[in-house]
Amino acid sequence: MTLPGHPEARLASARHPDEETRYRAVLELDGAHPAELDELFARLDDESWRVRSAAVERLGALAEPAPALARLVAALTGADSPGGRAAAGAALVQLGGLAMPALVERLGSGDVEVVLAVAPVVGALGDRRAVPALAARLAAADPNVRAAAAAALGQVGGPEAAAGLLAALDSDDVTLQGAALDALAGLRVAPPVWRLTRLMGDRALRPAAYRTLGPSDDAAALEVLAGGLSERSRSAREAALGAIGQQRARRGPEALVRLAAGARAAAAQDPSVAEACVAALASEEPFVAAGALTVLAWVGDARHGPAMARLAGDDRHRPLVEEALDALPRGSELLAALAGVLPELSPLARVTVHGALAGAGQAEALQSLVYGASDLDPQVQAEAIAALGRLGDARAVPALGGLLGDDLPALSGVAASALSRIAQRSPEGRSAVLVECRTRAAASPSAAIYRILGAAGEGEDLRLVRQGLAGGAVVRRMAAAGAVAAIGQRGLLRGEHVPELIDALSDPAWAVRASAARAFVALAEANADRRLGDPEEGEHPLCVHAMAALTVALTDPEPAVQAAAVDALGACGRPEHAARIAAVVTGTAPPQVVVAGLHALSRFGPAPVELVERALGHADPEVAKEAVAAAGGLPGQEGRRLLGLAAASPRWDVRHAAARAIGARGDAGLRQLAARLAADDPDPLVARAFEEAVRALAGPPRG
């Protein structure tokens, strides 16, 4: 009799006719036993994808994968079924870097079938050790091998892979050129436009060539994309639209004025351009739909409003739809077009359209948004509130004011943002918002009201904010501290100091103490031009009482308060604070306090060398990176020495910070070090940063 759980029972179950039985049994197989390892390999060819995936999971989790590696590589071409060959590749991907040496060796095989099977696995692993072997296969005799190598390089990525793919564009093999263009598009690497326009002579390469223009910053790329809108081939035209969508996402409308003019000209000359864009709005490729929406906004024909509005049902596109509808010309044609599409839209899409209708002057749409601001669906409610803020219509103020209570902080925050936007839109809006907030602050103050008063209030509103500092809930006291800072940053304190803010530095709630200390940071920075005043006379940047209270806060038990107090004293720019700050940092201070201290000490001039050196070895990477920045400001040999220490750090992010600091320092004495590290650093991102530093140091000397 065979007992359950016995190896023989597991093997028998793994071969059972029932799929579920096989699946569960395979998950129990132990690859450390030869017979069970053999069964796992047999299950790679199982007719059930679930059983194959279970075998992949077990093989990928082998504690000692060495015995299985060669068999998995062989199974890439030797398995009995396509599913088995794919499963072998998936198991190799799960093994990760352990599989790379064997796979790279197979890339050099003269067997085309082997290379075609190995290249996608190497690409999926994304290990840059494979780049030289893959780049070499770009010159293989077999065109399928060349194309597979290009595709894999696109998956692996990195500067060396991109360089190989760019070189492949000069090939006379159209298949390789197309694969290289696709790979470069996936890497968001844009070839020079002049090379692409030459390749576009072959119609088969145009779609891939257009796709690579999405990440291009070349001004000529915009002209080429405008021309792509008139392509007769749907694939080429949609590739151009996808690139326009990428450009819009990367650069914003201001940088695309030239492209917008070209799109309008193309649409004026050829009516099918706009029709094609309307059709492309239904594309499942997000950038294609975004590009089509962008072009239709530039064309500015109200007849396209309904098609654009339907896209607002997709969360990914709703913000762009709002902008696009706002760009359409106002008038009766737009009102009629959008009103007709409303019944078929989702509630969220209707909010977007109501916003456009209200902007076009339809009072009913504004009222619909006001109703939406109290909708039971939180997402619809938030979208309606945001739309009212974008409209900037003062008639929405009373409804939004009713949402400023402390009981629903997320909702009140959105309403506060909307009211702040209305206040910034017009004098009438500002007046309406302030009247609403002042009235409510007197009757039922809230954190949201204080935030609005800080952003849009006047000097007279300081009285209300000071009352908020003096009492009430913690969130209100925190918001009031922030409001004092905002009023001060806007230059409305006029030399007036706020005793309540000083008292808040000793508030029972640490969050209020931290907010008060951060407020003093903002006030000190806002008054930096007056830092030569006499603190004993109560002059800016901070009065003597505030600085005394901040000095006491340096010993606060809460790190966030300590760090903010350090920042505030540093922002004062008074050298007499340096010793106290250094004393805090040199102790066993928490990382965030050390970071604040290094930053503050650097405001007074070069930070103490021994302090910077000790911080470079700190266990917290943020401390070490702040120390790198401080080291960059140390003059002479000491600065060079500490940057050299940072450049040798075992942490890649610290070395990367060192590379940036070396480049910014402009010290030619560090060029040789940067060049050596650019060649030797094992991390490609860090090596590239050192390359940039070398280029920066090769430029004209800095004053």
376 sits in which H/E element: none
Q: Are 442 and 460 in contact (CB under 8 A)?
A: no
The DSSP letter of residue 397 is H
CA angle 446, 448, 452 (to 5 degrees): 120
Question: By the 8 A CB rule, do 243 and 251 touch?
Answer: no
Q: Would you say 484 and 465 are in contact if contact means Cβ atoms under 8 Å apart?
A: yes
Per-residue confidence (pLDDT) for residue 128, from 0 to 100: 87
Residue 688: which residues within 8 A CB-CB, separation 6 or more?
Answer: 159, 678
CB 388 within 8 A of CB 394: no
Task: Return d(Cα 26, Cα 426) in angstroms, integer.
Answer: 69
Give the integer Cα–Cα distance in Å for 610 and 586.
10
Residue the block writes with tokens 């470079």 = 616
Contact 493, 502 (CB under 8 A): no
Structural contact between residues 455 and 490, judged by C-beta atoms closer than 8 angstroms: no
Closest Cα to residue 237, out of 250, 225, 248? 225
Whole-prediction pTM: 0.69
Of all residues in the chain, what percent are helix, strand and coil, respectively (each to 5)? 75, 0, 25
How far, in Å, CA of 221 to CA of 137, rounded? 30
Which token pair is 211? 């796709």
Residue whose C-alpha is closest to residue 384's, from 405, 357, 424, 344? 357
Please list the rounded mean pLDDT of every run of 10 residues in the chain (703 residues): 61 90 90 89 90 90 85 86 89 87 87 91 89 92 94 91 92 94 92 93 94 93 94 95 94 89 94 94 94 95 92 90 89 87 90 88 88 90 91 93 89 94 94 95 92 92 91 92 92 79 94 95 79 54 85 94 94 87 85 92 88 89 90 90 92 92 89 90 86 82 42
Query: Which of 413, 453, 447 minimizes the C-alpha distance to 433?
Result: 453
Nearest of 590, 597, 589, 529 to residue 565 by alpha carbon: 597
Q: Is 626 exposed, middle or buried (0-12, 13-18, 19+ CB in 10 A)?
A: buried
> In 604-635, which ranges are continuous DSSP H helix?
609-616, 621-632
CA distance 287 to 128: 28
Short-list 402, 430, 427, CA closest to 415: 402
Cβ–Cβ under 8 Å, residues 396 and 388: yes
CA gap 676, 670 in Å, rounded? 10
DSSP string, 442-499: HHS--HHHHHHHHHH--GGGHHHHHHHHHSS-HHHHHHHHHHHHHHHHTT-STT---H
Tell me the C-alpha distance between 261 and 226, whole Å. Answer: 9
Q: What is the distance between the terminal CA atoms of the chain, rounded to a whole angstrom?
A: 89
pLDDT given for residue 2 in this prediction: 39
Q: Decide: 273 and 258 in contact? Cβ < 8 Å.
A: no
Cβ-based neighbour number of residue 610 at 10 Å: 9
Contacts of residue 546, defined as CB under 8 A and 6 or more positions apart, other chains included, come to: 497, 501, 502, 520
Rounded to the nearest angstrom, the gap between the alpha carbon of residue 653 and the centroid of all alpha carbons in its chain is: 18
Say which amino acid occupies 114.
Answer: V
Cβ pair 515, 504 in contact under 8 A: yes
pLDDT at position 539 is 58
- Cα gap 285→243, rounded to integer Å: 11
pLDDT of residue 1: 32
151's tokens: 């595709």
Could you give the 3-state DSSP secondary structure of residue 72? helix
Return the sign of the alpha-carbon dihedral for residues 231, 237, 243, 244. Answer: positive
Residues found in the chain: 703
Contact 397, 419 (CB under 8 A): yes
**Do residues 337 and 306 make contact, with C-beta atoms less than 8 angstroms apart?**
yes
